[in-house]
A = this chain, B = another copy of it.
Amino acid sequence: MKTLAANTRRASRELASASAERRDAALNSLADILDDRSSAILDANQHDLDAGERDGLSAHLLARLKLSEDKLAGLATGLRQLVGQGDPLGRPLRQTELDDGLMLTQVTSPLGVLLVIFESRPDAVIQIGGLALRTGNGLILKGGKEAKHSNAALVDCIQAALEQAGLPRDAVVGVEGREAVASLLDCDHDIDLVIPRGSAELVRTIQQSSRIPVMGHADGICHTYIDAAADPSMAVAVTIDGKCDYPSACNATESLLVHREFLPHLSALGEALIAEGVTLLADVSASAHLSGAETAGPEDGRTEYGDLRLAVSVVDSLDEAIDRIHANGSGHTESIVTEDPVAAQAFLDRVDSASVFHNASTRFADGFRYGLGAEVGISTGRLHARGPVGADGLLTTRWLLRGSGQVAASYGPGKRDFKHRRILL
């Protein structure tokens, strides 16, 4: 695996310095190859589906595993859309004339080599592979073993596309098995970022076993806070959407905080939630206003349920709501429902989470909804990328300095001064 990672590093450097035209050509080739090879890909997929049925995979997992002509055509369309969106590489972010004939430019560059670990959906191979080609990053893909044949067929397509475009096929490789991942997590010299797309447990396990930076959300314990001045019907709509729209998503609301002055409206809110099938786990103060709620235990309010359970607690003030969010949340997404602009602004200013909303469902925290294009993932880390991450999260920068023989010893007290003229871009 050390050799594999080193080979990917070498190939990634070739990819990184290839022209945008060449990387676009690879994306176009890949779209064409998906069309050409569709029946072979669907055969490989059928192989996985048959094995999955034999192994008793759930209907839900089988549906995620299944490819179709339509899905492949959709993937090809997605790739063609990436072409001609403008080169994300070499984009100047900052330019400063340090002195006459000494120009500094900070430009975007690929991050390097990514290790992406994902489960079941083989479509991810093409989506992530397309992003890697566009952003000039080397890519090591580890999919689930239930999609083994499908993933291998799709990685083959990417390698063929790289070759057709005159790029090194080693820039994108697939690996299998836990042992492979374990050894790759040691290759901190040749892998720059690990992106685990799966359960919070997967993310945590990887974070704990590697020195390579990991981009992902370990937890999604999101709060909706119903302020004293909340519009009661908006409170119902935003809470139901936050909890029920897709309960297993990381941006689903897990904990509802209710200002004491809103209590007269809590019973109606509770009934609406229960009508949607939500199980309420209420603290003592909230219970008094909720018929049909269960009593919250010590872990409720700090748990990612991933289902239709919802913790409900009463707070005496906005300050208490914010303190509880900081104490129990995971810094993912929190929303305040209020008609009071001062409370809203205080919440937006003070809550220390990746996404902070006013009068909107926590479910909006998502790269597609944010308009970032392809979503790489959602990061609850604070460095590099925070919240929903688009292709920009796969870029770093380099500082280019173009001179005419200048030396540092010429500058300083009693010598030349730097001009530091910032160039507007």
Report which A residues bind B (CB closer than 8 A).
13, 16-17, 90, 96, 98, 102, 104, 109, 111-112, 192-193, 207-208, 211, 213, 231, 234, 237-238, 240-241, 245, 326, 337, 344, 348-350, 352-361, 363-366, 369-371, 382-384, 386-388, 396-409, 411, 418, 420, 422
Contacts and interface: CB of A to CB of B under 8 A. Distances in A.
- Copies of the polypeptide in the assembly: 2
A400 B213 contact: no
A381 B71 CA distance: 38
B399 A360 contact: no
Contact of A370 (B241, B360, B399, B411): B399
A97 to B, nearest CB: 9
Contact of A357 (B109, B193, B361, B403): B403
Given A207-B211, A350-B17, A398 B404 contact: no
Contacts of A326: 13
Given A358-B403, A371-B96, A399-B354, A383 B383 contact: yes
A66 to B, nearest CB: 19
Given A241-B408, A364-B408, A407-B241, A382 B350 contact: no
B355 A403 contact: no
Given A17-B350, A356-B400, A360-B405, 16 more contacts: A90-B349, A102-B360, A104-B371, A213-B383, A240-B407, A245-B408, A354-B398, A356-B401, A359-B402, A359-B406, A360-B407, A363-B409, A364-B406, A364-B408, A365-B399, A382-B396
16 contacts: A17-B349, A96-B371, A98-B369, A102-B360, A104-B371, A238-B405, A241-B407, A241-B408, A241-B409, A355-B400, A359-B404, A360-B405, A369-B408, A386-B396, A387-B397, A387-B398
Contacts of A349: 17, 90
Task: Determine the main DSSP class of A at the interface with B.
Answer: mixed
A237 B407 contact: yes
A358 B402 contact: yes
Contacts of A192: 382-383
Contact of A363 (B344, B353, B407): B407
Contacts of A238: 405, 407
A407 B96 CA distance: 44
A411 B16 CA distance: 37
Contacts of A399: 354-356, 365, 370, 386-388
A406 B356 contact: no
A411 to B, nearest CB: 7
B407 A383 contact: no
Contacts of A361: 406-408
